[in-house]
Amino acid sequence: MQASVEEFFADFERRGNAPSAVSDFFDDQFLAMDPNGSTVVRPEQLAAVLPTRAAMFETVGILGARLAGLQLEELDNTHVLVRTRWESIFAEPGSNPLELSSSFFLRRTGQGWRIAVYLNHADIAEVVARRQGGSRHPERAAK
């Protein structure tokens, strides 16, 4: 199971930011979560917001992300929980990498692994805003 999950994430890393590839990785509906809440999403909805997310990352010079760590917990023959760490790839060499963590609940289907739950452990917009020297939520920064 470890090898097939690692292969899934290697492919996800290579193609994951391409809106056309989203349906290859996600269930027909999946749960998307972050510190602000959770919502059920369809792959085409995720694909529609990826260009906006990429543009947000570009504001701080981020071109993409590379998988920096992966830890999995086999739950049964069909499901696995995967904890991941990602490092940003900056346009400017020598920039301090931005590290993000996310967890995925994968389900094995006839077409291979599919993401059923996608959890970002940080508010990505807040992380980018902090990198720019501000805060998306000024009231939180005052605490």
This prediction's pTM: 0.86
What does the pLDDT look like over 5-56, one tens digit per residue?
A: 999 999 999 886 677 788 889 999 999 999 999 999 999 999 898 888 888 8
Residue 142 lies in a domain: no
1 falls in which pLDDT band (50, 70, 90)?
A: confident
Residue 141 lies in a domain: no
Which domain, by its residues, includes 36?
Answer: 2-134
* Residue 93: CATH number of its domain: 3.10.450.50
128 falls in which pLDDT band (50, 70, 90)?
A: confident
Burial class (CB in 10 A: 0-12, 13-18, 19+), 72: middle
Residue 143 lies in a domain: no
Residue 15 lies in a domain: yes
Residue 73 lies in a domain: yes
Q: Name 67's Cβ contacts closer than 8 Å, sequence gap at least 6.
A: 9, 10, 13, 84, 85, 86
Tell me what pLDDT residue 59 has. 87
Residue 83 lies in a domain: yes
138 falls in which pLDDT band (50, 70, 90)?
A: very low
What does the pLDDT look like over 88-102, one tens digit per residue?
A: 888 888 778 788 999
Count up the domains in the chain and report the number.
1
User: How long is the chain?
Assistant: 143
Any bridge partners for residue 34, and if so which?
37
Q: How far is CA 49 from the centre of its chain?
A: 13
Q: Is the pLDDT of residue 136 over 70?
A: no
Residue 140 lies in a domain: no
